[in-house]
Structure 1
């Protein structure tokens, strides 16, 4: 879910350089080195010593190294290729700043900035920061935070040890799970019983169910197959906190148009993930890197329109299935996926036919603090259900409580997702061919068979494959499922409409003692007392403890009154930063027909139209946000947290967050929906959607368990009603 570690954006309005055909995300070595060497040569003229001196005033030496020695020098001048590529935007600003600083020093009668004493250097930096050099100064500060407080490309700078951050706990040796068996394009068959587009939770469940029924399936995943160690421990390129080119983004050649209030913005798959979209591209989809919150929707979530009516301009709709009908599939989802949870305060309003397969994750200080506060308020609360092994399960280890669960693969393969559950089971039958690094560019429907066109070996030497099938299951996520259907000319006018996600609010304050140490997996405790309650309108939302912030996030968002750089900032980072504590709330977003996915004029690498994304925010959704912020502040106040403040004010969720849904919503007729109650696209006989795009509304909790449960329902119905 979106959180305080989400992508802070590129900040400077740039778009990342695109290297056509390089899906792996690496510019050529020669090109990267030329960027760096030119920059260093330019700096040599203006004095590389000037830049070093400035860095060491942003992060001065004390008992811990100064910025340059502590990681910034390595970040700027040693060769990882990605640093050269990523920092192409920064070099002109840094070169300009070095010149400004030396000019100011010369005016003061000094030989250069580096020759001045620290106090004089600080005065010049303050003058430059407050004047026309503010942009260059901000670039310097940002590069300092990235170099000193962020892990990436194997770097472990001093700032991480200074604040006590370890991505993998001491004594834990990461393991690399056995890779899933894949097939080469040359052995893909001409016909399958089913082609499944996407390997995330919807596609993975479909593969498991269909192969168990004896169907031969081809699962097509557009992302290359990456090892777990390639998607872990990078605080600059991880999807949830990507500052630069995301490791599990789609890569270049996948443009989208964000239709923003201030105008359209064209982005490629290497750009700002917070605007482009937060869904992960990987074998296993988003479940490869999620934190695993595995909630059931409440019974009321399936009848929002009946309960609340449809406010003007909105498009609230009931689900064509009730909680009672979904309950057996929720139970199956929890046991087949593997969920650690506890019956009690968080389950009392959701009738259950079985308990959780694993006990809840162990407690931590934030759960104890907020649990006691909830008791004082008379609120129900409990440990969050997580699709993570709290004990050894399904032949894999228990969670080691690492500090960077969300956005990263698990170091011991304890995270339960499509890649570790549904896909392996399907492949083990011998009836599932998994084809990664391949993209379905067209879906065809017919009376006798369906089919797809695939571009395989997409990042190296693409080859076109034409495959027929009895049925095509489209499980590419709310944006890409809609785009593929629209580009294929399938479906009705409801396809692509009603794009929505969740509303969010973050409330922060200061605790007397640290209560959220760097211990995973992240969010730990929650209350559902403000979901479909009198306290917040329109269905309200869940409130959870704020997960521990990455050091880079904290550095860029210091508490009020903390200096923005220098000794005071560094002292706060290694001291009172640990007392920063808060809650995160997530609630209903009321869908609108104007919030939608359409086809853009910009073309992707195969000449197909990219997605255009528009997100409008209904006033009811804003009421949900504001109400959650109020209740979150009440919870913190009851816990004794001081200096309580709402972070950032009203949120404006990106058009394509990782919880996006609704673009092929289920319904009872073509007049009110894009698919029938079992995902068959209206107007087709052999094309079925099976992912979050089916959700008419998105509840007020993370939707993945509901995606999984509904996928079991859809896939089992498909087997029972197999097209002839």
Structure 2
């Protein structure tokens, strides 16, 4: 096999000769065959474009790998590594890898991935090879090897113009309402208020993104989370994570995004990048404490409203957002409704057919998953094209529905709504007696940050269950329940390492079929949760998984494993996470963000009941996969994400009494006259489902109450 011939330009941080050796080593990990090798197939471009920013971590361990390989090659063969043939270079890498496995195990980070700060040289070499070849920031050669096409043939992506925002100098001096955050809650509230005659300012922290910025990047996508995510806050926004065992760590916003927290920061928030599952909570989800009792050390409480109170708003959101599903069968029986979904469910596929069959043999009922995705053209936007990268990415044809393309455009169309982007509210200005007069915000502009103070009659905080309590606490507002009860979902997972051929497809959205038979079944498993097929892994995740197997760790065997088309078949569940007395969002006493605002400190401990619920669902996930023909099934179960997920909830929960809640039934913050919360922070519990539809329905209810204020 020929020696790689990289371009004459050296990689930043490497000499020309070091670059030549590095190219040779990368092509041992992913050799050239009928497809390009690792270096020309994406790694060279990744390092040339990013070795001075998010790939800078790799320079030091790669330089060590290069030096070690040179020493080994000269001692063993008498010439430099780049001048060896492929077989000889592979023997050099094998020797270094064997030595590394004995003396220095590759370090893992907070979430179990490679700890880039402490990566051993060959572990770093493999990671960079896989990231460049299978997860580069556009279409690398490895996608063809893995038979992954980001768009179906013949589909042309669209890139709608973002809504027009205002600059700081164009802000009005006074608004009826300022809404902090343009996600699931804020977008809905803004539309309801503006369409009912209120003058509204929507303040969104995220910088402006086009659709093209938020898709086909498998290193900085919201779900991949390997680096500073495109839909993140950018540098200078640290968080502190404190675990029950006393471990304290600082998560930087410009490093491993998953360790920072799985929450999208873009116009529309999570609803722009979500997979768009749109479940209603069950009636029992609103009365968990009454149904199951309050476990020791938990802060479990019932909602102050019932399913019947929220049902009309569920109905409105399903139609105004646009949800596809089948409400006549299982869903109609368990979540009573007055009319069908506005669109039929997404078409079936091989995964749904296989798992529907295994569910029926087990005596379980199953249903197509309801999605906020157009199954037919609607409102001037296309139907879903079933692309394979829905999870964590913007929709290439604008068929995925979120507040960014439904409620927010309606608010702006009234002429009574201003939107300001790249703006962080750092303080709610108030008189110290519970009356807010407006907000202080800092806007990032091309010439630097600009501070503004905007007056308003009402402030609605919809910044998410992590940032909402942070802002309230930093402003000195609210009672002792602000920041408490942080929870998301526990989860269970079962995966067949030997799946039946063709059972799993990579057609979008990625999940297809669910059973609800273990949601509030005979008071088992703390309410259980929805059980559905697991999503197909993207090529980078598949490559890293193959890299952990000694037989397919790298080389031709690795490439052969990536060419095999059989995708893993699995089932997964989310279940009620029981809020815990220890778990809390507070302000760090010392650490500040780039605007001088106190950093968020997340303290976390899993309640034993959450693990019980996850274990309960793990059993059923395994049964479903095995009945479908899966073999060598691996099953896992665990509590929620300590650093916060897109399902975070509970940190300003509402109730009837300030002795046990932060907000009243209207979302009004106790102790204030005109500060409201309208996001998942209000949820006393979070159901056994994706909470997005519930966030929007409750926000619509709060918006309606505000219009009657």
Of 279, 294, 311 in structure 2, the residue corresponding to residue 327 of structure 1 is: 311
CA distance in 2, matches of 1:477, 1:400: 30
Residues 128-139 of structure 1 aligned to structure 2 (within 5 Å): 128-132=96-100, 135-139=120-124
**DSSP-derived class of the 1:547 partner:** coil
TM-score normalised to structure 2 length = 0.92
CA distance in 1, matches of 2:372, 2:567: 29
Of 492, 504, 512 in structure 2, the residue corresponding to residue 516 of structure 1 is: 504
8 Å CA contact 1:506–1:584 kept in 2: the answer is: yes
CA distance in 2, matches of 1:118, 1:526: 48
CA distance in 2, matches of 1:66, 1:666: 56
Residue in 1 that maps onto 2:35? 64
8 Å CA contact 1:503–1:621 kept in 2: the answer is: yes
**In the TM superposition, what is the alpha-carbon distance from 1:534 to its structure 2 partner?**
4.3
CA distance in 2, matches of 1:313, 1:545: 33
Residue in 2 that maps onto 1:381? 366
Determine whether 1:431 maps to 2:420.
no
* Change in CA separation of 1:580 and 1:332 when aligned onto 2, cut-off 3 Å: same
CA distance in 2, matches of 1:54, 1:606: 43
Determine whether 1:247 maps to 2:234.
no
Residue in 2 that maps onto 1:565? 554
Residue in 2 that maps onto 1:179? 162
Residues 159-178 of structure 1 aligned to structure 2 (within 5 Å): 159-178=142-161
8 Å CA contact 1:146–1:552 kept in 2: the answer is: yes
8 Å CA contact 2:167–2:420 kept in 1: the answer is: yes
**In the TM superposition, what is the alpha-carbon distance from 1:560 to its structure 2 partner?**
5.7
Residue in 2 that maps onto 1:29? none
Of 427, 452, 472 in structure 1, the residue corresponding to residue 439 of structure 2 is: 452
**DSSP-derived class of the 1:457 partner:** strand
1:261-317 CA deviation, whole Å, 9 max, x = no partner? 462212232222222111111111111111100000001000000011011111110
Determine whether 1:547 maps to 2:531.
no
Residue in 2 that maps onto 1:275? 259
8 Å CA contact 2:208–2:267 kept in 1: the answer is: yes
Residues 6-85 of structure 1 aligned to structure 2 (within 5 Å): 37-41=11-15, 44=17, 47-77=18-48, 80=49, 82-85=50-53
1:512-554 CA deviation, whole Å, 9 max, x = no partner? 3133333211111111111111495111121111111100011
* Change in CA separation of 1:38 and 1:150 when aligned onto 2, cut-off 3 Å: closer
CA distance in 2, matches of 1:561, 1:546: 25
CA distance in 2, matches of 1:626, 1:448: 47
**DSSP-derived class of the 2:248 partner:** strand
Of 649, 653, 659 in structure 2, the residue corresponding to residue 661 of structure 1 is: 649
CA distance in 2, matches of 1:64, 1:465: 55
Q: Which moved more, 1:378-387 or 1:565-574?
A: 565-574
Which segments of 5 or more consecutive residues in structure 2 lack a partner in the other structure? 1-8, 106-119
1:239-271 CA deviation, whole Å, 9 max, x = no partner? 111211110101112121111346221223222
**In the TM superposition, what is the alpha-carbon distance from 1:596 to its structure 2 partner?**
1.0
* Change in CA separation of 1:221 and 1:65 when aligned onto 2, cut-off 3 Å: same
Of 37, 43, 63 in structure 2, the residue corresponding to residue 95 of structure 1 is: 63
Residue in 1 that maps onto 2:92? 124
**In the TM superposition, what is the alpha-carbon distance from 1:357 to its structure 2 partner?**
0.4
Which segments of 5 or more consecutive residues in structure 1 lack a partner in the other structure? 1-34
**In the TM superposition, what is the alpha-carbon distance from 1:37 to its structure 2 partner?**
4.8
Of 441, 452, 460 in structure 2, the residue corresponding to residue 465 of structure 1 is: 452
1:370-404 CA deviation, whole Å, 9 max, x = no partner? 01110101111111100011101112111111111
**DSSP-derived class of the 2:238 partner:** strand
1:580-610 CA deviation, whole Å, 9 max, x = no partner? 2211211110001221110012011221101
1:152-187 CA deviation, whole Å, 9 max, x = no partner? 1xx322110111111122211111213212112111
8 Å CA contact 2:610–2:639 kept in 1: the answer is: no
Residue in 1 that maps onto 2:108? none
8 Å CA contact 1:110–1:116 kept in 2: the answer is: no
Residues 305-320 of structure 1 aligned to structure 2 (within 5 Å): 305-320=289-304
Determine whether 1:624 maps to 2:613.
yes
**DSSP-derived class of the 2:353 partner:** helix
Residue in 2 that maps onto 1:4? none
1:117-142 CA deviation, whole Å, 9 max, x = no partner? 44443333222113247610000000
Residue in 2 that maps onto 1:579? 567
Q: CA RMSD in A?
A: 1.8
TM-score normalised to structure 1 length = 0.91
8 Å CA contact 1:194–1:216 kept in 2: the answer is: yes
**In the TM superposition, what is the alpha-carbon distance from 1:38 to its structure 2 partner?**
4.6
* Change in CA separation of 1:361 and 1:598 when aligned onto 2, cut-off 3 Å: same
* Change in CA separation of 1:266 and 1:359 when aligned onto 2, cut-off 3 Å: same
Residue in 2 that maps onto 1:14? none
CA distance in 2, matches of 1:628, 1:566: 38
Residues 546-695 of structure 1 aligned to structure 2 (within 5 Å): 546-558=534-546, 562-575=551-564, 578-600=566-588, 601-646=590-635, 650=638, 653-695=641-683
8 Å CA contact 1:274–1:654 kept in 2: the answer is: no
* Change in CA separation of 1:262 and 1:353 when aligned onto 2, cut-off 3 Å: same
Determine whether 1:348 maps to 2:316.
no
Q: Which moved more, 1:232-241 or 1:508-517?
A: 508-517
Residue in 2 that maps onto 1:372? 357
